[in-house]
């Protein structure tokens, strides 16, 4: 009987301790869409992702585009470029400059850190994260 309780406790602890992608899905403005894009770093448009501190913007992926940033040691970050603090519209595609993504909408002008996704000057929601993993010469970005 004690063995069954121990196994049940171990299973419950495992289930509740796992991070769930749904934890990031509390933003009412940005819907989840499925996509996958493979960036071959042998191609000139993605070669910067071989060097830490560089980013690449991938248009036409995600909702309004994706930014991929290389931290180093095969640690890549990828975020949605639709401003997470209002519904996607004609001005909500953020622009990347250095490590900042800025919304050009005149009514908010929110800024975000593309390494962490966190807001830099207000806004309730952080940037929507995507998975980014390195496999050989390819970086696979997906949701």
Rounded CA-CA distance 56/97 in Å is: 11
Query: Global pTM?
Result: 0.82
pLDDT digits (tens, 9 = 90+) for 63-94: 999 999 999 999 999 999 999 998 899 999 99
In CATH, which superfamily holds the domain spanning 29-142? Rieske [2Fe-2S] iron-sulphur domain (2.102.10.10)
| pLDDT at 1 (0 to 100) | 55
Helix (H) or strand (E) holding 101: strand 100-102
Q: Which residue has the higher pLDDT, 27 or 17?
A: 27
| pLDDT at 2 (0 to 100) | 54
Residue 91 CA neighbour count, 13 Å, CB half:
9
Rounded CA-CA distance 25/66 in Å is: 17
């Amino acid at each position: 009987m004690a063995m069954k309780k121990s196994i049940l406790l171990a299973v419950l602890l495992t289930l509740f301790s796992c991070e769930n992608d749904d934890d990031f899905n509390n933003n009412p403005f940005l819907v989840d869409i499925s996509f996958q894009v493979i960036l071959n770093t042998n191609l000139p448009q993605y070669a910067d992702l071989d060097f830490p501190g560089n980013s690449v913007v991938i248009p036409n992926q995600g909702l309004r585009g994706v930014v991929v940033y290389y931290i180093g040691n095969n640690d890549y970050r990828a975020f949605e470029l639709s401003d997470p603090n209002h519904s996607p519209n004609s001005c909500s595609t953020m622009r990347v400059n250095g490590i900042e993504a800025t919304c050009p909408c005149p009514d908010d002008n929110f800024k975000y850190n593309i390494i962490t996704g966190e807001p830099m000057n207000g806004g309730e929601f952080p940037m929507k994260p995507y998975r980014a993993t390195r496999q050989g010469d390819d970086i696979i970005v997906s949701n």
